[in-house]
Amino acid sequence: MTTAPAPQSDDRHLWTAAVAWLVLTAIAVPLIVFVLGPHLPPGRMSAEASDQTSANIVLTAICVPIVLLIVIFFGYAFVVFRARGTAIEDGPPDFGDARAQVLWLILTSVIVISLAVWGTYTLFWSAHGAGGGQGPNPVAKPSDASSALQVQVIGQQWNWTYRFPGYGGVETAHLEIPVGRDVEFLVTSLDVTHSFWAYELGVKADAVPGTENIAYVHPRQTGSFSIRCAELCGLWHGHMFQTGEVVTSAQFASWIAGQQHAEAPNLKYLPGYSGVYFPEPTRRAG
């Protein structure tokens, strides 16, 4: 006569699931950091984008073990404790496990407090703010802000144009900026509220009529970046899409000289350069 094997104890089940979780976490976290991490948005094209990418890597690496814990717990429970055979009956009542509850509270508290400390350090000591909401001081500027290239970003239904006060106030329909130099975006609007979002540069600033919002960026790599409007601004909001370029200093000098020559006849039709503009009363809100 044979007897059925004794069921595993609760501790045995706990340790089996814990080992599976530790093994998968040890595999997944390095993959997140070293394989997926370099491809997380917004990339490394600028110093600001690089900081945002690093934060995304940290947050993803923290979230993965939590997700694995939940998936393994439910998956293990579905496989090991599922009803077998034709008999359908309720299992024994489960009143919870104080150890699991305490462990969950401790782990989640450690994670939240650690993220709060890391975020506070980054906000107050690492990122001092650059006038665009990147830090605690809304008027802080980079140390070499006086030599930054000024670019006025003008939102309008439904396009972006760019004026360069350091180059006679010339206005262009395309944006090129030099690599390795701080750029000061002076963001405003002619009609309604838009939002200037240079995705790969890690820059987003609202474009509000009568207001000048400032954001700095330090491009590190040449290449293309997408420009979108991140604020619903009317019927053709989705049309406000452009592609900008980060180029070498020599390429930028050649490009801006060409723009000054090509746009010279149009300067007489433009209003004088101003930090802000207001909608025409007869064309308010487009």
Kindly state the DSSP code that residue 124 receives in the 8-state scheme. Answer: I
- Looking at the structure, tell me whether residues 161 and 269 fall in a common domain: yes
CATH number of domain containing 270 = 2.60.40.420
Last residue of a domain, one of 81, 106, 127: 81
Amino acid symbol at 250? A
What the block records as the tokens of 280 is: 């025409």
Q: Which range marks the domain in which residue 66 is found?
A: 12-81
Domain-located, residue 116: no
d(CA 244, CA 240): 13
- The pLDDT value given to residue 23: 94
Q: How many residues are given for the chain?
A: 286
For residue range 140-171, what is the model confidence (pLDDT) as tens digits? 677 777 789 999 999 998 999 999 999 989 99
∠ CA 230-236-237, rounded to 5°? 5
Encoding tokens for residue 146? 């006086």
Tell me whether residue 174 is in a domain: yes
The whole-number average pLDDT for the span 195-218 is 90
User: How remote is the C-alpha of 261 from its chain's centroid?
Assistant: 37
Strand partners, 274: none
Q: Which tokens is 258 given?
A: 């060409």
150 with 76, same domain?
no
Q: What is the pTM of this model?
A: 0.77
Coil, helix or strand at residue 230: coil
Residue of 205, 174, 189 lying closest to 286 (CA atoms):
189
Residues 55 and 159 in one domain: no
Instruction: Indicate whether 49 and 156 sit together in one domain.
Output: no
Q: What is the pLDDT of residues 13-69, one digit of tens each?
A: 788 888 999 999 999 999 999 999 888 989 899 888 888 888 899 889 989 998 998
Residues above pLDDT 70, as percent of the chain = 86
Pick the last residue of a domain from 81, 100, 124: 81
Average pLDDT in the 174-182 region?
94
Q: Considering its fold, how many domains does the chain have in total?
A: 2
